[in-house]
Amino acid sequence: MVNNIIILKLGGSVITAKSKPQTLNVRAIKNIAKIISEFDKPIIVVHGAGSFGHYFAKRFRISNKQTTSTKAIIQIRESMIKLNSSIIEIFNKYKINTLSFSPISMYNKKNILLHWEDYLKKMLNMDMVPITYGDMILGSKGFYIISGDVIVKDLTRMLNPRNVVFASDIDGIYSDINDKSTLIKKVQLNKRYSINFNTQKFDVTGGIQTKLKQALDIAQLGTNVQITNGLRPRMLMKALNGEHIGTLITGD
């Protein structure tokens, strides 16, 4: 029986250079791989699209709508496969037993198929690190983008993990992103906060604002969420171990 599952969401702003189309942040991925290789608890990794999938989604003007454009579907999916393969290649060098899969195999009508709970737990029991990612999946009227943040929420509902960590390119949630002294250390449901959000050039899934919404939804399920800086290895390791660092999002 798998206990103390951790779900780690690697933001596109961490694993790619978001202002440069289809550009990896190799140094960051290596640092994260080293942390995961030394981590002693069962962990599931979900990664974002960054300057890979987001670039093509922006180019084809696809965000929250379904599409039947074959060209758009193929280019977005191929870019995500390319990004995922690059991450896996680096993880393999750090002896991580990574098992990668697209969410297209997991979902039916916006719900994760029930047998995936057993699949994932068996992978974790075998000392594997399951990894999936934001991608395009089939809907009722074509293909649509499912973000890594939504996948994390759905996995949380299914697996009831001990902790969820969102690794971003900032230390947490700020009242004002331009003022580093305004870090909000704790966000609770049903409390009001004044937050000035900014958006990244290629981000079509809502950026930090959407991330916070998904984190609050996860907290409502009973799992605490940490939003922390994935570009700072010590912070990330502390967050994975449950230490309050960055912004902690809690339920009632």
Report the C-alpha gap between 56 and 135 in whole angstroms.
12
At residue 205, the pLDDT reads 47
Residue the block writes with tokens 């694993």: 15
* CA 88 to chain CA centroid, nearest Å: 15
Helices (H) and strands (E) in the chain, counts: 8, 14
The superfamily (CATH) of domain 6-250 is Acetylglutamate kinase-like (3.40.1160.10)
249's tokens: 């999002």
7's tokens: 């779900």
Per-residue pLDDT of the chain (252 residues; tens, 9 = 90+): 688 999 999 999 999 997 899 999 999 999 999 999 999 999 999 999 999 988 888 888 887 789 999 999 999 999 999 999 999 999 999 999 999 999 999 999 899 999 999 999 999 999 999 999 999 999 989 999 999 999 999 999 999 999 999 999 999 988 888 888 899 999 887 666 656 655 544 454 456 677 788 889 999 999 999 999 999 999 999 999 999 999 999 876
100 in Cβ contact with 132 (< 8 Å): yes
Give φ, ψ of 31 to 5 degrees: -60, -40
Q: What is the pTM of this model?
A: 0.92
At residue 71, the pLDDT reads 95
Please report, for the chain, the start and end positions of each structural domain, with discontinuous segments joined by +.
6-250
- Would you call 243 helix, strand, or coil by DSSP? coil
At residue 211, the pLDDT reads 75
With 0-12 CB in 10 A as exposed, 13-18 as middle and 19+ as buried, what is 119? Answer: middle
Q: Considering just the CA atoms, what is the radius of gyration of the chain in Å?
A: 17
At residue 203, the pLDDT reads 52
153's tokens: 């929420």
Q: How far apart are the first and last CA of the chain?
A: 28
